[in-house]
Chain A
């Protein structure tokens, strides 16, 4: 017999303690954590659905998750802070690449509803924001909800498995994100395609670097393939770090091929379009680095900052 539609139960804890109590009370069920809801609500069959016995825990009223603080070394944001608020609050101090990533995510009306915690925990696709935070060495705090609550900080890359899937222990809550306040000599971000409408061919390249005379002394780069995961490694970073600047034309192809082979190792059967987009982005990045190096006079330090 068909079971009548029932409304899911909504819990709106006002503090972490209340949240913990809710989790403990509903042990045995898998509560559904609700941050901004933009991803969940945009699933085509979201409503109506058979989720009568579901316990939804809305995190919106937990004061602590809306806090943010800043000191000289880092900025710390609660998981429920919207990415738009982050961009507004950190306009002058946060790395430019992070601000660009946020500003390139949807439109402001939607950004106001996307929370930083939610965008790190998406299920259907990987976001460029997560990858940018990885190369910026951001850390996240996970709260473990047991009888006694305790927390632990992790490098952001450690909350994903090798396939880019979220790998947070059951019952843990991503509560804070900490971003180091530092600028880099060079920051590059290029996103192509929409991760929501065109996840199979979309890709993003983010890179930060420090220069030393005519070489790169520090580099981190990461590729995001929304439907597949993230591609980053020490090998790629080292390859960029060893580059002599400006890069000559013959090295372009070598670097391009090395990076593409590396991505192929991680993600088999890339579509031709995606491969060409990735090649184009690498090419564009090297060209951009060359332009900046060649026009650098030594007096104008700000020129390197994006």
Chain B
């Protein structure tokens, strides 16, 4: 099956099996280094990418679903200014994800930040706590994750000069 997709800003036309999971596509076809997991439905949470700006577990996305859509992997995201907001948040909270989950955790935080950056109200802490369980890595506790999200959100709003009601 022929699939046209934009990955990390590059427009690509790929020929592959239509049901191939996105994570394997990124590993096999693109050589993406930030995704190395293939948990085969184990929900390990370590294969997150941004699909049209929203975090998804790439092992749950079949190739046919990404046609004409935009994918951002950690490699692409780490070159953006938005990434700096999250990096600063990690440093400010003294919470540093390990190498295994750094990419997925960062993209998950980015997705949460994008969802809330323009919102008038504060985020739902219970929901963020629940989100923290998505990534099966033990380097950061859930309270720390919430702290980083809060800090990253503040950084983003400050940088983009978002005035909250």
Contact = CB atoms under 8 A, between A and B. Distances in A.
Q: Do chains A and B touch in the complex (CB under 8 A)?
A: yes
B21 A41 contact: yes
Contacts of A109: 48, 54-57, 108, 111, 131, 134
Given A46-B41, A113-B56, A10 B131 contact: no
Given A7-B16, A56-B19, A112-B54, A46 B43 contact: no
A110 interface: yes
Interface of B: 1, 16-21, 24, 40-43, 48, 54-57, 59-62, 64-65, 108, 111, 127, 130-131, 133-134
Interface string A96-108: 0000000100011
Given A37-B65, A44-B41, A108-B131, 19 more contacts: A8-B19, A10-B64, A34-B62, A37-B61, A42-B41, A42-B60, A47-B19, A47-B20, A49-B19, A58-B64, A58-B65, A107-B131, A108-B127, A108-B130, A109-B56, A109-B111, A110-B57, A112-B56, A113-B60
B60 A47 contact: no
Please tell me the size bucket of the interface on A.
20 to 34
Contacts of B43: 42, 196
Contacts, number: 79
A262 B79 CA distance: 60
B63 to A, nearest CB: 9
A41 B20 CA distance: 10
Contacts of A56: 18-19, 64
B60 A37 contact: yes
Contacts of A46: 19, 21, 40-41
Contact of B21 (A5, A47, A51, A58): A47
A5 B16 CA distance: 11
Contacts of B19: 7-8, 46-47, 49, 51, 56
Of A41, A103, A110, most buried by chain B (CB within 10 Å of CB) is: A41
B130 to A, nearest CB: 5
A43 B19 CA distance: 13
